[in-house]
């Protein structure tokens, strides 16, 4: 959540046609098997216009809730970096979600929110990794596009997994937490030379600002936030509002 009425997630979480009335958002959930959180109706869904399919550029979406939400100890916003913020290779960040705990292994009850700490991987280095043992991919083909950021380990170890899509890659930044990426795609879970790929939020900071003009982006040099100006963001990695494809975007039947 980036504002009392706005949420950022991945474009591939939605099925065309994008009908807001088909969705509800669960805010503040922690254990999915234990009823909790606040259900909110959706008034609008904005998919970035360059998004085409899973794995393409533009895998970002904005959700506008029907009504503003009251922030609580469990529902709080995260900062959005402006386009000049750089997340250097090796910087340690966190991914949180309720996805599978291993390839094909679902999160067991009570389905408690999980987190994993991962280092940022340079875009060029990540693209090189995806070419290793990948004979179907031409050496001249760039897989990791300009608007993507990677996180993980060369030898696998830890990763986001199926069911985490749309969730946050959050990095500590001068006392606050910035949304560096949105879980987008990958090849399996925690496989060597196949780190998780995320939508790079700085590539779309200005696009977000178009829909939320009053929202203040976080610059590379941070000043003390003013909680009265609508852009205050929280300092805990576990209680950001997470909007995940599988569990929190409820398609109404």
Positions of the chain with pLDDT under 50: 222-232, 235-242, 246-247, 250-253
pLDDT for res 149: 96
- The one catalytic residue among 3, 59, 127, 159: 59
Q: Which domains does the chain have, with CATH numbers?
A: 6-251 (2.40.10.10)
pLDDT of residue 245: 57
Query: Is 59 part of the annotated catalytic residue set?
Result: yes
Catalytic residue among 165, 176, 205, 231: 165
In the prediction, which pLDDT does 182 show? 98
Q: What pLDDT score was predicted for residue 13?
A: 93
Q: Is 22 a catalytic residue?
A: no
State pLDDT tens for residues 137-194: 898 899 999 999 999 999 998 999 999 999 999 999 878 899 999 999 999 999 999 9
Secondary structure string (H, E, C) spanning the chain: CCECCEEEECHHHCCCCCCHHHEEEEECCCECCCCCCEEEEEEEEEECCCCCCCCCCCCCEEEEECCCCCCCCCCECCECECCCCCCCCCCEEEEEECCCCECCECCCCCCECEEEEEEEECHHHHHHHHHCCCCCCCCCCCCCCCCEEEECECCECCCCCCCCCCCEEEEEECCEEEEEEEEEECCCCCECCECEEEEEHHHHHHHHHHHCCCCCCECCCCCCCCCCCCCCCCCCCCCECCCCCCCCEEECC
The answer to whether 250 is a known catalytic residue is: no
- What's the pLDDT at 53? 92
- From the candidates 3, 12, 205, 234, give the one annotated as an active-site residue: 12
Q: What pLDDT is attached to residue 175?
A: 80
pTM of the entire predicted model: 0.89
């Amino acid at each position: 959540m980036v504002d009392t009425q706005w949420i950022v997630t991945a474009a591939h979480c939605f099925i065309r046609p994008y009908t807001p009335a088909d969705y509800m958002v669960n805010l503040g959930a922690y254990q999915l098997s234990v009823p909790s959180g606040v259900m909110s109706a959706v008034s609008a869904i904005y998919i970035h216009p360059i998004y085409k399919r899973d794995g393409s550029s533009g895998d970002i979406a904005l959700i506008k809730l029907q009504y503003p939400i009251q922030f609580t100890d469990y529902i709080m916003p995260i900062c959005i970096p402006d386009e000049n913020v750089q997340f250097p290779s090796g910087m340690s960040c966190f991914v949180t979600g309720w996805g599978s705990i291993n390839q094909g292994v679902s999160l067991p009850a009570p389905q408690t929110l999980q987190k994993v700490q991962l280092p940022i991987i340079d875009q060029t280095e990540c693209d090189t990794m995806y070419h290793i043992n990948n004979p179907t991919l031409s050496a001249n083909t760039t897989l990791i596009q300009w608007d993507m950021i990677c996180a993980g380990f060369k030898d696998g170890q830890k990763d986001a997994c199926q069911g985490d899509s749309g969730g946050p890659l959050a990095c500590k930044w001068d006392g606050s937490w910035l949304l560096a990426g949105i879980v987008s795609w990958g090849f399996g879970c925690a496989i060597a030379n196949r780190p998780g790929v995320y939508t790079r939020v700085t590539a779309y900071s200005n696009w977000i600002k178009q829909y939320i003009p009053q929202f203040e982006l976080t610059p590379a040099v941070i000043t003390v936030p003013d909680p009265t100006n609508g852009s205050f963001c929280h300092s805990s990695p576990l209680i950001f509002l997470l909007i995940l494809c599988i569990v929190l975007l409820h398609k109404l039947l």
